Structure 1
């Protein structure tokens, strides 16, 4: 894995993790009891973006480190991936 591959992997994992973390602990405006006129009652209320982004970055860093260790440590090589069809046959 080169530098560009590492950056692309981190960015892809970061956005995937963000979309998994966003709904955790989310309260709707109806739950909070303050529905803003013109919005749906199920719209989010009081999103703590700083906390969610910090959690996203921490989880992504951990995932990226494990994947980089697997790739750079030679645990899984390109030859292993190209021979995966041999397992099915």
Structure 2
């Protein structure tokens, strides 16, 4: 597998994982009873960007490693999935 492809797939996995990780541990300004004037109540009370990036990187590394082992090392791919639609040949 080419180096560019490895980084491209990892970036896609990382980006999707980021949106899954963002709401974990989020405490809104309304929940903290500290709404800053001019902001919405659902805004984070304290944004922890470093923690989110770290968790996203770790989780996406696990997901990517599992994908890499299954697809590259063991040879599983889309053709290995069962087909639930009828074959009209």
TM over 0.5: yes
User: Greater share of helix residues, 1 or 2?
Assistant: 1
Structure 2 CA distance for partners of 1:84 and 1:34, relative to 1, 3 Å? closer
Length, aligned pairs only:
86
Per-residue deviation, residues 30-74 of structure 1 (Å, max 9, x unmatched): 111111111111111102111111110001111111111112214
Matched, 1:48 2:27: no
Listed as ranges, the gaps of 5+ residues in structure 1 are none
Q: Matched residues in 1 for 2:42 and 2:13: separation? A: 28
How high is the TM-score relative to the length of structure 2?
Answer: 0.83
How high is the TM-score relative to the length of structure 1?
Answer: 0.83
Q: Secondary structure at the match of 1:29?
A: coil
Higher RCO structure, 1 or 2 (CA under 8 Å, sep 6+): 1
